[in-house]
Amino acid sequence: MHETALVSGIMKIAFEQLENHRLNRLVAIKLKVGEFSGAFPDALRFAFEAMVAETEHSGARLEIEEIPGRGLCRFCQAEFSYTPGMECPSCGGLAPKLVQGEEMLLESIEAE
Amino acid sequence: MEIKVVANVLKANEDMAVVNREILSRRGIRVVNMISSPGAGKTTILERTVEALKNEIPMAVIEGDLMTTRDAERINRHGVPVVQINTQGGCHLDANMVNKAMLELPLDEIKLLIIENVGNLVCPASFDLGEDAKVVVLSVPEGDDKPLKYPQVFSKAGICLLNKIDYLPHSNFNLKQFYQDAAALNPEQKVFEVSALREDGMQNWYNYLRELVRKNRFGL
C-alpha cells in the first residue's frame, strides 16, 4: 500500500548513483523484493512507471526479482520454503524463523 | 553500464529510527508503537492507559491519523502532551515523521512515549520508528484468522492486546486457533486479553508498561 513511498526512495538512490558516476540517463533499476516485504511487485512497477514518466528519465525500466520466503527451524536447523504459521517439515518444530523473503534491495542500476 | 548498488530501500527510514532510538534512550524514555486495523480499539486502549498511569509514569502520545485530529483531541482531554501527525492519506508512520513530532514533546519530562500508528495491519509493520516494542491490537470481531493473514505484524510484535474480549460469547472467534497461530508466528509474544471499554484485563497491560519503564530506570 505504500509503494509510491518506496518508489520515491528507490528513485532517490538511483539518481544519487547517476550523479556520483556522472551519468546522464537511467536505463533500468534492478530490485530484489521479498515475498514477505509487504510490497507488491505489480504495484511497484505501476508506481514507478507513473513517477519516472515525470522525470527526465522517462522510459526507464524497473526490473524486479521476487525472492521467495525461506524458513529456518529453531530446533533442527532445517531450511525450507516458508508459509506463515507452518511447522518445520523435518521435525515438526513450531514457529520457524523467516530467514529470507523480507528484503527490499536495490541491487544495481543500468545507466548511460 | 551497470552500477552495483545493493542498497536497502528502507535504509533511510532505518537510519532515522536509529537516531530516534538514540535520542529517546539517552533520556531514559521507553517507546511503544501500537499497530492495528481501523476500529480495533487503539484509541480507547490509549485513553484508558493514560488515565490509569499518567500520575505514576510521566508520558506523552504521538497520534498518527490519516486526515483528522479526532484521536488527538480524545487523548488531549486526559491532560498528557500529545502531538498529532497527519499522514495526508499515507498508510503508515515513518521514522522521519516521528522524529519531527517527538521534538515537539517535552522529552526531558517523560519516561514513556506511546505512538498510535495509522489504522492498518500491513504497512506499519515494515517501518521501524525507533520503538522498544511493537504492540499489535486485534479485536475479537475481526476474527481469529488475522495472525496468519497478517503474519508480518504478528511476528514482529512483542505484545498482542486481544481487545473486545467481551464479544467472545457472541462471536465465532476460536481462541485456541488464535493462540496456536500467534505462537506459530512468534513464540515469544505475550498476549493480554482485554476489554478496554469495560476495563477488563487491563492491569496486565499496565503492569507490562510499568515493568518496561522500571527496567529502564535501573538499566536492567
Domains and CATH numbers, chain A: 3-68+101-111 (3.30.2320.50)
Residue B59 lies in a domain: yes
Cell of B45: 486502549
Distance of alpha carbon B30 from alpha carbon B21, whole angstroms: 9
A78 in contact with chain B, both atoms CB, cutoff 8 A: no
> What is the model's pLDDT at position A90?
96
Closest Cβ opposite residue A94 in set B9, B90, B184: B184
Domain span at B66:
28-214
Mean pLDDT of the residues in chain B: 94
Q: Residue B16 domain-assigned? A: no
Measure A56 CA to nearest chain B CA, in Å.
Answer: 18
Q: For residue A110, what is the nearest residue in chain B, using CA coordinates?
A: B2
Q: Are A101 and B3 in contact (CB under 8 A)?
A: no
pLDDT band at B219; cut points 50, 70, 90: low
Which one of B2, B6, B8, B9 would you mutate to disrupt binding with A, by most A Cβ within 10 Å of its Cβ?
B9
Say if B95 falls within a structural domain.
Answer: yes
**Helices A41-52 and A3-20: crossing angle, nearest 10°?**
60
Is B72 within the bounds of a domain?
A: yes
> For a pLDDT cut of 70, what percent of chain B falls above it?
98
Q: Could you report the per-residue pLDDT of B14-55, keeping only the tens digit for each?
A: 999 999 999 999 999 999 999 999 999 999 999 999 999 999
Higher pLDDT, B195 or B76: B195
Option in B4, B120, B152 nearest A36 (CB) = B152
A39: closest CA of chain B, how far (Å): 8
Total domain count, chain B: 1
Q: What is the least distance, in Å, from the CA of B66 to any CA of chain A?
A: 13
Q: Has residue B217 got a pLDDT over 60? A: no
> Quick check: helix, strand or coil at residue B203?
helix
A52-106 pLDDT, tens digit each: 999 999 999 999 999 999 999 999 999 999 999 899 999 999 889 999 999 999 9
**B159 in any annotated domain:** yes
pLDDT bin (cut points 50, 70, 90) of residue B220 is: low
Distance CA(B155)–CA(B153), nearest Å, equals: 6
CATH number of the domain to which B59 belongs: 3.40.50.300
Contact B6 A106 (CB under 8 A): yes
Q: What sign for the dihedral angle of Cα A6, A8, A10, A16?
A: negative
Interface pTM (ipTM) of the complex? 0.81
For residue A6, list chain B residues with Cβ-Cβ distance below 8 A: 9-10
Q: Side-chain half-sphere of B147: how many Cα atoms within 13 Å? A: 31
Per-residue pLDDT tens for B85-122?
988 878 899 999 999 999 999 999 999 999 999 999 99
CA torsion, points B142, B144, B147, B148, in degrees to nearest 10? -110
CB contact under 8 A, B5 and A95: no
Closest CA to B4 of A29, A37, A26: A29
Strand partners, B160: B136, B191
Copy the grid coordinates of residue B156.
Answer: 514482529
CA dist B31 and B21 (Å) reads 9
| Residue B50 contacts residue B59 (beta carbons within 8 Å) | yes
Residues of B in contact with A12 (CB under 8 A): 12
Copy the grid coordinates of residue A41.
511487485
Q: Is residue B152, in this structure, part of any structural domain at all?
A: yes
Which amino acid is located at B122 in the chain? Answer: V
Min Cα separation B86/chain A (Å): 15
Residue B9 is assigned to a structural domain of this protein = no
Residue B220 lies inside a defined structural domain of this protein? no
